Structure 1
Amino acid sequence: APHYADGLAEDLAALVAANAAGRGHVVAAATTFGRNFMPRVAALLDVGQISDVIEVLSPDSFVRPIYAGNAMASVRSSDAVKVLTVRTTAFEPAPAGGAAAPVEPIPAGPALGLSRLVGRELTKSARPELAGAKIVVSGGRGLASGENYHKLL
C-alpha cells in the first residue's frame, strides 16, 4: 500500500499491532527505524517494550544495557506479547542455507493520515558510523603518539 512507502511510524505501528494477536514476540532491529515505531506498537498492545536486547535468556527473559552501557540488566516480561528491539551486532548471523522463516501475506491497514513525510536529508560526515561496528578501537593520550596507535592495531 502506498501509505507504507515512507515508513511512517503511525501507519506501520497500527499494522504491526493489528497482526500481533497470537504471537509471542514482535521484534525489530534497534535502529532509528525500529526505535521509531516499536514503542508505538507496544503502546497499542498495552505492553512494555524491551529495548536494545543483547542476549536472550529464555522466551520471557532478556539482557539489555543500562546506564549508557556501564551495567547490564536482566529483564523478565510477563506480557502476553513481548515487544523487543535488538542490537543486531550482539548476535551471530544465521547460518547460510538454514531453514527459511515462513512468510505470511497480510492485508494493508487503512492510511491513518496522522503524519506525512516532508523531506529527506542525507547527513554526510567524514567520521565513520560506529553504531554497526562489531569492534571499535580507541586510543587517546595514554598511547602518547600516533606511532603507538599503529602498534595497537
Structure 2
Amino acid sequence: MRRFAMRATAVIAASLLLAGCAAADEPDSGPPPPNGYELSATLDDGTLLWNDRSDGSGMTDLMLESPEGRFVHSCLGNAPLICWDDPEEPSMLLVIAPTGATTAELTWYGQTYPLTAGTPVGDEAPAVFALVLPEYEPNDEGWTLEVKDAAGEVVMTS
C-alpha cells in the first residue's frame, strides 16, 4: 500500500509539473506569424508588417498583412530599396533602408507623412519602414522620400 501511495504521489507531482510547463509554453497572444517571419510593426490602421532576413543571401523580405489577415504587399531585396504595391496607382509603400536608419518621411503630392518604423530582425539588419497611403489626387508636386539616421543625417533619398 505504501508503494502505491508513493507512486500515486509521484504521478500527481509529475502531472502538476507538466501542466505548469504547458501553461508557461503557451504562445503570446496576437496573430500567428508567417513561417520564419517576425512581427516588425503594426501600422495605425491595424496593418501588420512582417520581417524576415535570409541568413544565406542577407536579403530582407517584408510582408504587409491587412487587419483582416490577408497578404496585401511584399518587398524582397537589399537596402536601399523602395517597393510600391502598384507603380501606377500606389496605395502602400515598403522601404528597406540602410542599417541605423531611424525615421522615414514621404512627401506625397504636397502632404508629408511619416512612415512606421519596423523593428530590425538583428543588429546588422537593415532598417525597415511601411506606410499605407491616404487617398490622394496627383498633381505637379509629385513625391520624395527621405530616410534619416539617429543624428538626423539623410541616409537614403528618392
TM-score tier after normalising by the smaller chain length: under 0.3
User: 1 or 2 for the larger relative contact order (CA 8 Å, sep ≥6)?
Assistant: 1
TM-score (norm 2): 0.24
Decide which structure has greater strand share.
Answer: 2
Q: TM-score, normalized by length of structure 1? A: 0.25
Q: Which has the larger radius of gyration?
A: 2
The structure with the greater share of residues assigned to helix is: 1
